Each structure stands twice: as C-alpha cells, then as structure tokens.
C-alpha cells in the first residue's frame, strides 16, 4: 500500500521512498500485475518485436500509426507507449451496439463530426464473430483470426485506421494478433484462406478501442462542453474484455486513479467536470456471460443487479453508470426491471462514455444519443445535467412522425477525408466449392 511516499510493508513496518523511487515502485507493481496475461509482459513485447521481424521478412504488412493519423501517446499496463490515432478512422462497428443501443455509435460519430474528425463507416465489415464463439464455441482460432484480418485488410485498403467499438472485438483481436504472429501454423492457414479471397495479412501496429480515443480526445471534448456537469455523480464500470483479456495493452495513466485502474472512461468523466465516484465491486463483470445474456438470462440479470447496480446505487448515490462496452450497457441497463418488479428500489441509468460526452457537448438526447432504447429511468439524470427532456421528447415525437411519413433523418456524415483509399472494390473469391 502506497500513501504519499510511504510504502506500508506490514502492520508496523513502513519505508519512506523518494518521489522517483515511489514512481519506480508503482511501476514495478503495475508491471507485476501485467505479468498475468497471455504469457507475460515480456512475451507480449516479444510478440511486438516478432511482428516487426515478420514485416522485415515481407511475411506480413503492418498498418502503422503514421503521422497522418495524428497519433497521441498513452501508457499501457505493460509500461510501453501506445500510439492512439486520432483522425481518419475506420469504424469497426459492434453488432450488439448497432442492434440494441444505436445511440452508442451515433453519439460517437456525432462527436467526430463536431470535432472535424474524418472517418469511414464501411458496409464491407463483419463483426468479429467472437460473441458467438465465447458463448457457443462455434468457431475456431483460424476462423476468428481470418475474420479479424479480413476486416483489418479492408481498413488498410481504405487507408483509414481501425477503431474498434466493441470490448470483445478488441480483446478477441488482441488474442488473434498474438496467435497469428507467434504461431507459424495458424499464420500459414490464415494466409492461405485470405489469399483465396484476394487478401493478405495486414496487422495493425496498434489495436485501438474507441474508449482510448475518447481518452486522448478528452480535453478537446471538454472544450466543446455546453452543459455543467459539476453536480453529476458518475460511476464507471470498466469492461472485462478491454482490460482483462490481454491486459498488457490497455491504457493506464498515473494521473487517473493513480494509474492503478484503466484510465479511459474515468478520464472523460473527470475532464467533463463530473464527480467520479467509486464502489466496492468495480472489478466485477456486468453479468453478460455471452451465452447467459441470450439463453440463461436469470443468471445474467441476478449478477448484474446484485453485484453491480445495487452496490453502485447504495454505496455512491451516483446519477449515472458509465461504461465502454456493448454487453455491459445492455446487461446493466436491461437487468433492472425484474428486480424493480420484485420490490427492490435501486435503479440507475446506464450509458456509454460516448453518449455522456455527446450529451455534455449538447447532442440531442433522443435524435443523436437515442436514449429511448435505454430502459432504466434517465429523466433525473438528464435533469441534473440541465437538459429539458420533456421538450426534447416532444421534438423527438415530431421527428418520429416525420420518419413514419417517409421522411429521412439528417445523417451524421464524416468531414471530408484527407487520405485517399489504397484500393477499392470487392475481391473475387478465387476458389469456391
């Protein structure tokens, strides 16, 4: 335990360290924690070296985070610096977000459009298919890796840097990248499949989750803030697949929670001027369970309510629970109604960090942030933010009537791109049957 520059070694034992030594101690503690995933931190860094070696041999192409992507450096749990691209982003959409909680994505696109960030929203994209794999076991390493690399090849062709929306896609892709780089047999089998569809192995230098993008853009977002969030108390649920699956590669910042927990999402809340509140079960998962949210729902919702929602509300009195993953928003939000029907009182709105940021920047709560798809009562939270939800709801009803009469929404579009695609068009499957 570190307090100031004192390190508590035992009950009556403590040593004083210089500021530099304290930092070193924290760093060592952090690295020690990092030695807990796919091999060790050392293995992980070796994988990155191997990736560069394969590039030199011409075996793979690395999609580098070049200067044209205007990267910002962050520190990861492994201690290395990771480059986060900030412009010209290829939006790797999430099946769960787009299907159930569309405001998650529209809010993110809206922020980018407001900040003048060019992006590509592609229809030549599949999900990672890993939700299905983790839930049902109906895939394998070669298929998952080929799906990953097919999507990454498309992004490379479009000359846009992949920004991964889903925590599970992000975690799965980190696993796949490790396997493809470190295992010759997997690499050979995947290459053979990709070649047959006219593609090759293109591996991103950095795998980047959108919450890391929000983290590095937080000051620019805060500068565009239109609402006062100083009365808003926000709790964070960090998504397991962002920071537990291949833990070494997610963003940590010694200025955010002392660098002991993932920085994204907490950092945007702080930048927006809201109060960040803590609760005892922050480490617990949301209860999603992949298979459970679809076919064993009583387990998912019991866990979500009793291990997350109740502790958050009882311990912190938070106005909103903010998270950064598909399944977490869905599970934590939708799992409240049955408990409420059974007489429990605790309830809290659950939204993504992109929705919170967009709301703070003045986005429409329903047309852009699509809060009508969320279940838990968001009205008190919106009131705390100073949003007239009744007026906004009236506007949305008119908008919906316009849509019902065949009107079209005003689509959020990317600002003009500065980079040109490397190539366009679909690839013919050379071998079929």
Partner 1 sequence: MLHKLNEDGWHYGGLPGLQWEAENARKAEGGIARQVVEELYNDVRFEEFYHACINCGNCTSKCPPFRLVDFEPRIVVQKVMHAKDEPELLYQMMDQYIWACFQCYSCWEVCPAHNNPGGLVAILKEIAVRHGLNSAKKALEPYSKILYKVMTTGTQITPDMHITIALFKDWGPHKAELAKNIRAERAGVPVETMAGVMDKSWKVDEGTMKELMFIEKEAGVFDSVEKTLKDVTDMVRDTAKEAGVE
Rounded to a whole number of angstroms, the minimum distance from the CB of residue 128 to partner 1 is 9
- Is the CB of 126 or the CB of 390 nearer to partner 1? 126
Q: Which residues of 235-262 are buried (b: 16+ CB within 10 A; e: fewer)?
A: bbbbbbbbbbbbbbbbbbbeebbebebb
Q: Does 121 bind partner 1 (CB under 8 A)?
A: yes
Find the binder of partner 1 among 82, 83, 150, 209 (CB under 8 A).
Answer: 150
Distances in Å between the alpha carbon of 386 and those of 147, 226, 362, 395, 396?
A: 44, 10, 11, 17, 18
SS3 84: strand
Q: Does 433 bind partner 1 (CB under 8 A)?
A: yes
Answer yes or no: are the C-beta atoms of 128 and 172 closer than 8 Å. Answer: yes
Please report, as residue ranges, which positions from 174 to 233 form the binding site for partner 1 (by CB under 8 A): 178-179, 183, 185-186, 189, 192-193, 196-197
Q: Does 292 bind partner 1 (CB under 8 A)?
A: yes
Answer yes or no: are the C-beta atoms of 85 and 70 closer than 8 Å. Answer: yes
Q: Of 313, 332, 340, 334, nearest to 235 (Cα)? A: 313
Find the binder of partner 1 among 30, 78, 86, 127 (CB under 8 A).
Answer: 127
Percent helix, strand and coil across the chain, each to the nearest 5: 50, 10, 40
Rounded to a whole number of angstroms, the minimum distance from the CB of residue 169 to partner 1 is 12
Answer yes or no: are the C-beta atoms of 288 and 330 closer than 8 Å. Answer: yes
Answer yes or no: are the C-beta atoms of 222 and 273 closer than 8 Å. Answer: yes
Q: Does 291 bind partner 1 (CB under 8 A)?
A: yes
Q: Does 28 bind partner 1 (CB under 8 A)?
A: no
Terminal-residue alpha carbon distance, the chain = 62
Q: Is 362 exposed, middle or buried (0-12, 13-18, 19+ CB in 10 A)?
A: middle
Find the binder of partner 1 among 5, 22, 125, 393 (CB under 8 A).
Answer: 125
- Is the CB of 22 or the CB of 372 nearer to partner 1? 372
Q: Which stretch binds partner 1 (CB under 8 A): 61-69, 210-218, 253-261, 289-297?
A: 289-297
Q: Does 432 bind partner 1 (CB under 8 A)?
A: yes
Q: Does 323 bind partner 1 (CB under 8 A)?
A: no
- Is the CB of 30 or the CB of 232 nearer to partner 1? 30
Q: Which stretch binds partner 1 (CB under 8 A): 10-18, 103-111, 224-232, 415-423?
A: 103-111
Rounded to a whole number of angstroms, the minimum distance from the CB of residue 108 to partner 1 is 10
Please report, as residue ranges, which positions from 55 to 84 form the binding site for partner 1 (by CB under 8 A): none
Q: CA quadruple 166, 170, 175, 179: dihedral positive or negative?
A: positive
Q: Does 372 bind partner 1 (CB under 8 A)?
A: yes
Q: Does 343 bind partner 1 (CB under 8 A)?
A: no
């Amino acid at each position: 335990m570190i307090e100031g520059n004192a390190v508590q070694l035992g009950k009556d034992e403590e040593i004083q360290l210089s500021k530099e030594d304290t930092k070193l101690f924290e760093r060592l503690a952090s690295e020690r924690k990092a030695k807990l995933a796919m091999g060790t931190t050392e293995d992980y860094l070796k994988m990155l070296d191997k990736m560069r070696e394969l590039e030199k041999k011409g075996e793979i192409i690395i999609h580098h985070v070049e200067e044209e992507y205007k990267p910002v450096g962050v520190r990861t749990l492994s201690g290395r610096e990771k480059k986060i691209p900030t412009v010209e982003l290829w939006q790797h959409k999430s099946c769960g977000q787009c299907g159930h909680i569309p405001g998650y994505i529209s809010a993110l696109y809206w922020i980018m459009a407001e900040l003048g960030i060019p992006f590509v929203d592609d229809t030549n994209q599949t999900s990672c298919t890993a939700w299905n794999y983790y839930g049902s076991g109906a895939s394998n390493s070669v298929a998952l890796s080929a799906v990953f690399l097919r999507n990454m090849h498309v992004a490379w062709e479009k000359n846009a840097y992949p920004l991964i929306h889903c925590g599970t896609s992000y975690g799965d892709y980190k696993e796949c990248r490790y396997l493809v780089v470190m295992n010759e047999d997997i690499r050979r089998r995947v290459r053979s499949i990709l070649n047959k569809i006219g593609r090759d192995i293109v591996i991103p230098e950095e795998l980047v989750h959108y919450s890391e993008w929000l983290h590095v853009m937080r000051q620019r977002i805060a500068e565009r803030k239109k609402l006062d969030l100083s009365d808003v108390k926000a709790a964070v649920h960090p998504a397991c697949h962002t920071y537990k699956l291949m833990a070494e590669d997610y963003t940590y910042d010694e200025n955010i929670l002392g660098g002991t927990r993932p920085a994204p999402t907490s950092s945007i809340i702080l930048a927006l001027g809201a109060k960040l509140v803590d609760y005892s079960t922050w480490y617990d998962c949301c209860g999603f369970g992949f298979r459970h949210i679809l076919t064993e729902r009583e387990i998912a919702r019991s866990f979500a309510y009793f291990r997350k929602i109740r502790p958050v509300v009882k311990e912190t009195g938070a106005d909103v629970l903010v998270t950064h993953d598909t399944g977490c928003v869905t599970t934590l939000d939708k799992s409240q109604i049955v408990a409420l029907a059974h007489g429990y009182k605790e309830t809290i709105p659950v939204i993504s960090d992109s929705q919170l940021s967009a709301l703070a920047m003045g986005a429409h709560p329903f047309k852009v942030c699509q809060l009508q798809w969320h279940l838990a009562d968001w009205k008190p939270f919106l009131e705390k933010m100073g949003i007239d939800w009744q007026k906004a709801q009236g506007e949305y009803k008119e908008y919906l009537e316009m849509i019902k009469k065949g009107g079209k929404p005003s689509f959020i579009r990317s600002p003009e791109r500065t980079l040109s695609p490397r190539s366009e068009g679909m690839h013919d499957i050379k071998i079929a049957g």
